[in-house]
Copies of this chain bind each other. A is one copy, B any other.
Amino acid sequence: MPYDPSAFPPFAVTVDLVVLTVRRHSLCALAVRRGEPPFQGRWALPGGFVRADEDLAQAAARELAEETGLRVHDPAIPAQDNGAHLEQLATYGDPKRDPRMRVVSVAHLALAPDLPAPRAGGDASNARWAPVGELLQQDGYGRDGEPVAPLAFDHAQILSDGVERARSKIEYSSLATAFCPPEFTVGELRRVYEAVWGVALDPRNFHRKVTGTPGFLVPTGGTTTRQGGRPAQLFRAGGATLLNPPMLRPEV
């Protein structure tokens, strides 16, 4: 049977990005303002069409670089923090998710250290880091007094899935270090866990756990006092990617 183009319906394929970071003790996601219908003026996740000759991961990495300037961390170069973490999240293909046409979106999850202000085509007012709780709430007002409207399309669902993925993944992997700068202290890492999980952790037990897990942290020898208080040791992320036994998230 020869190839028959009429045998299947054509789809548009996009990548959407859930880019998470930790700023001011809270988990934030990158949001961009839509400049055109549908959902004109509303906030949405960054994303765009996959090009004809592009792999899905390539497309996601390209969009991430366009929106944030971040390069993607290459796991082939271990023990070197050369960019953000990027992984596929899930794919969303409800026939009505985009009113214009049939669009299947392959969502990706990116984790990045705290960054300077985002850029979106050079226009800062069209991109921002927003606390995920603010982006997911249905109505009301944000911390800046701006009225909150739900995210465009099914992006609230996508963001929610991405946050849940991040929350569970830092339990059993060393991924929380992706939120930290190349060198960081145990306290900074703990504040990442606290922001992502939204709980307070015991500094002493946390310190024992992360320094006692082989391959999680590698001391660099330096110390810092940037957080105030007694100077803290600086660490880099070690080679271990899976934590066994995992970090335990306190029960609700």
CB of B8 within 8 A of CB of A95, answer: no
Return the chain B residue nearest A7 by Cβ. B49
CB of B91 within 8 A of CB of A52, answer: no
A15 to chain B, nearest CB (A): 9
CB of B12 within 8 A of CB of A8, answer: yes
The contact of A95 among B5, B54, B94, by CB within 8 Å, is B54
Specify which chain B residues have a CB less than 8 angstroms from the CB of A13 in the assembled complex. 8, 11, 13, 93, 104
Question: Are A106 and B91 also in contact (CB < 8 A) when A12-B8, A13-B11 are?
Answer: yes
CB of A91 within 8 A of CB of B94, answer: no
Instruction: List A residues 63-105 near B (Cβ within 8 Å).
Output: 88, 90-95, 100-102, 104
A117 to chain B, nearest CB (A): 26
CB of B93 within 8 A of CB of A106, answer: yes
The reply to whether the CB of A109 lies closer than 8 angstroms to some CB of chain B is no
Return the chain B residue nearest A36 by Cβ. B1
Question: Are A56 and B104 also in contact (CB < 8 A) when A10-B11, A11-B11 are?
Answer: yes
The reply to whether the CB of A146 lies closer than 8 angstroms to some CB of chain B is no
Specify which chain B residues have a CB less than 8 angstroms from the CB of A95 in the assembled complex. 52-55
CA distance A25 to B91 in the complex (A): 33
CA distance A139 to B56 in the complex (A): 30
Instruction: List A residues 34-50 near B (Cβ within 8 Å).
Output: 36, 49-50
CB of B93 within 8 A of CB of A50, answer: yes
Specify which chain B residues have a CB less than 8 angstroms from the CB of A251 in the assembled complex. 244
CA distance A244 to B168 in the complex (A): 13
CA distance A91 to B11 in the complex (A): 14
CA distance A101 to B53 in the complex (A): 11
Give me 5 A-to-B residue pairs in the complex whose CB atoms sit less than 8 angstroms apart, sorted by A's number. Answer: A9-B49, A11-B13, A55-B95, A56-B94, A88-B91
Pick the 4 closest A-B CB pairs, nearest first. A10-B10, A9-B52, A56-B93, A8-B49
